[in-house]
Amino acid sequence: MSDRTAERLLRALYSAVLYVLTPITVYHLIWRGFRYPEYFQRWNERYGSYGTPGGAVDVWLHAVSVGEVNAAAPVVDALLKRHRGLRVLVTTITPTGSQRVQALWGGRVLHVYSPYDLPGAVARFLSHYPPRLALIMETELWPSLLFGCHDRKVPVYILNARLSARSLRGYSVLRPLIARTLRTVRKVAAQSGDDAARFVQLGALPTQVRDVGNLKFDIPVPDNVREVVHGFRQHLSGGRRVWIAASTHEDEEAPVLALHARLRRRWPDLLLLWAPRHPERFPRAAAAARETGWTVGTRRADRWPSAGDDVFVLDTLGELMAFYACADVAFVGGSLQAIGGHNMLEPAAVGTPAVTGPHLHNFSEISRRLKEADALVIAPDAAGVGDAIETLLADDARRQQMADRGRALVEHGRGALARTLAMIAPHLPAPVA
């Protein structure tokens, strides 16, 4: 059997399985919709149907959700600045990602949900918004999408590409198909040498893969950080200590409340800033804190914490970095359970020492570098997280040392953006002087 014939058979089998499973996508949207009503909206986009005019786009960038959108922000900002009139389409999968796109760029970019990886939906999407260049963020290896671009001779780059050992094992089940999918891509711009090696293991050619560094190191510090910190401190009594639990998941809520109770025994006026990972959990986290007996304020309703608040829930999007800067110590969630962690460069960039749990496979390289620089404490469990936070809250000099080293590491790691832009430059119009 020829390689071309094998490819066609694999694609046909993959497509047949997806079509059989299509009812499950509807069930998923309904199930998610009961938790997050925005999932009931814009179903047509998920199946490649549009009620608005389309047209060719210069750049199509796909980012799954908030984290990927934030990582892509420096790229999109640079493209819009350098190439006046560039038509950019940004797709996401989640409503929170959609909200983040709209918050960052508004009408400066086009935005729809990415279609499910059904050949028909993909074909309709690529016909409605035919791209001249496709940029896929991190680890979105959807065969129908990538083969569809290849069939239409659209150059595809995977940017800030990461592949954990766990993801490698998962993809390896479909390696015959995924390897062929990867070989349709012009370049895989990997976050690290380890990520690059794993993409080669999965089937990419060594010539396709390049270690360009992690775009997350090029993280822009929001312009309003000083303003938010000033406003926050104005509403806080002098000397009151603050810790933040950020990007926490459902099974981390009880440990967060238990840690706060523990820490309050030593610092009775300690304030917890709490930013759950998913918006549907904002009210649930606030309710859980109230059920514990705490006085709870929220960013949306109260704007700033009051003197009587024990917990202040950050129930808005796009403000996390600014509130990291308001805290003395940060706990970065998704790390006490097998989620794989979340971006601990954000607190580092604004000078807040951070503590995480042990599950960091999504940020293995970043966490390793932060730990080696003595800018991050990785605890073995929830009790260890509490020990680390208590130690740091009690030691001003240690916190400052970690803050300085974290900032320095972020600054030293910058550069992936420039290398990424240079890589895709041949497919773009000449920059505007």
How far, in Å, CA of 105 to CA of 128, rounded? 21
Annotate 130-180 with DSSP letters as a single string.
Answer: -BSSEEEESS---HHHHHHHHHTT--EEEEEE---HHHHHHHHTTHHHHHH
Question: Are 304 and 288 within 8 A, CB to CB?
Answer: no
Strands (E), 257-318: 271-276, 296-298, 311-313
Neighbours of 286 (CB within 10 A): 21
The rounded Cα 106 to chain-centroid distance in angstroms is 19
Catalytic (active site) residue 38: no
Closest C-alpha among 346, 329, 335 to residue 67: 346
Strand, helix or coil for residue 285: helix
CB-hemisphere CA count at 13 Å for 104? 26
How far, in Å, CA of 325 to CA of 244, rounded? 10
By the 10 Å C-beta count (0-12 exposed, 13-18 middle, 19+ buried), 70 is classed as buried
The residues facing 301 across adjacent strands are none
Q: DSSP letter for 363, please.
A: G
CB-hemisphere CA count at 13 Å for 152? 20
For helices 175-182 and 165-172, give the axis angle rounded to 10 degrees.
110
How far, in Å, CA of 131 to CA of 125, rounded? 10
Active-site residue identified among 7, 38, 45, 68: 68
Q: Which two tokens stand for residue 160?
A: 């800030």
- CA separation (Å) from 199 to 25, 182, 185, 392? 28, 9, 12, 38
Tokens 């711009």, residue?
189
Which of the residues are catalytic?
A: 68
